[in-house]
Structure formats: C-alpha cells, structure tokens
Amino acid sequence: GRTRSHGRNEDSFYSNAEGYWKDVPPTVDGMLGGYGSISSIDINGSKAFLQKFLGEGEGKTGSGCALDCGAGIGRISKRLLLPLFQTVDLVDVTQEFLDKARPYLGEEAKRVGHFFCCGLQDFVPESGRYDVIWIQWVIGHLTDNHLVEFLRRCRSALRPNGLIVIKDNVSYEGVVPDEVDSSVCRDLDIVRSLVGRAGLRIVHEEQQVNFPKEIYQVHTLALR
C-alpha cells in the first residue's frame, strides 16, 4: 500500500476534495459525476445485497438505524436506507448537499435522526447506534490510515449483528489517483488489507453488474 506523508500534502488532499464538491450541483447527476442514469441499477444491486442480511432470526442484522456515509443529497438514503430502516443518519462534508437533502427526501426526512456535516476522517459515530453503516463512493477520499481509523470507529458504532458495507470503485492494480476530485482508487487487495487492519472481516463480497463498461468495476463488501 501507499501512505501519504502527514502535513501539507494530506491537508491539500482533503481541502482540494472539499473544493471540488463545493462546485458540484446538488443533484443525483452531480452526486454520480454525470452518471445519474445508473442510479436505479446501483440501488437495485445494493438492495439485493443488503436483503441477504436483514430480517428476523439468528445472526440477522436489525432494521432500526442506518448511517449513510458521504451521503451527499441523500440519494442512497432516499431509495435504499429509508425504505428499509426506521431511522437513518446522514454524514457529508458539504453543507449545501445536506441542506438539499431535506427537500429531496421529502416527507421521509422526518425519519432522519441527524444530518452531520463532517469529513469522515474527523467523524466519530455514536457508539452502538447503527445496524448498518453504508459507505459508498467515498473511501477514496480518505488516506489509508484515516480509512483504517474510520472503520475502527464504525466497528464500535455497530449494534449486535450490525454490518458495515463498503461499495466502491476498485482499480485493476495498485492505487490510481484522481486529480479532478482529489481522491484515489485502490485495488481489491489493498481494500481487503485495510479492512483487515481495522479488525474487520469480509463476510460477503460481490461485483455490481450492468454498469457502463468504461467506469471502474464496483465491488460491494459486507464487513463485521
């Protein structure tokens, strides 16, 4: 894996990303970098993935409370999490997106517990609060060490039988930087090793199908 030196480089890695998102329109198309058309395919894949774990019975994950990490305007909260969970919290670094989330979620915004405006590198989720922590298209905005530390904090924030889900682009090999939004794309082996460093194990993993050929493969990992 690759580590970033602390200090100025790391500061600009985060501040450049914040600057990028401040200029993005608060729309589904903005959230998905112009690929708004894949939103339904994405949500349907996620729903099928998540439903393997939810339900009644031994070892099943509860449906009380979920956390949407890097939530943006709440695209995933609206179509995936709010239909399945009683309460959903959203966390995002861009206040304008969270402001837009209320009207975008409509009537269902009543069931949002908290709108947290915070970068994930600084966010401390409440201990023992969440059945599911959903982390989609945002791990590339964290340095390796910050990602490991964030996943450790997420682990402490889970309820019994709780689940952390990472859904993200994976590169073919190594770490590929994206200068445009100041993020990185890691290969699966690196993601797996960071998950292990956080003291989590992968209980299920699959590739999202039917996405456009030209974008990175997207993989979904369930962690406990």
Binding residue positions for S-adenosyl-L-methionine: 70, 75, 92-94, 120-121, 136
Whether the CB-CB separation of 149 and 209 falls below 8 Å is answered with no
- List b or e across 153-181, with b for residues whose CB sees 16 or more CB atoms inside 10 angstroms: ebbebbeeebbbbbbbbbbeeeebeeeee
How is residue 166 written in tokens? 């990472």
One DSSP character per residue, the chain reads ---PPTTHHHHHHHHHHHHHHHTS-SSHHHHTTT-GGGHHHHHHHHHHHHHTTBSSSTTPBPSSEEEEET-TTTHHIIIIITTT-SEEEEEES-HHHHHHHHHHHGGGGGGEEEEEE--TTT--PPTT-EEEEEEES-GGGS-HHHHHHHHHHHHHTEEEEEEEEEEEEEBSSSEEEETTTTEEEEBHHHHHHHHHHTT--EEEEEEPPS--TTSPEEEEEEE-
Please give the annotated binding residues, written as ranges. 70, 75, 92-94, 120-121, 136
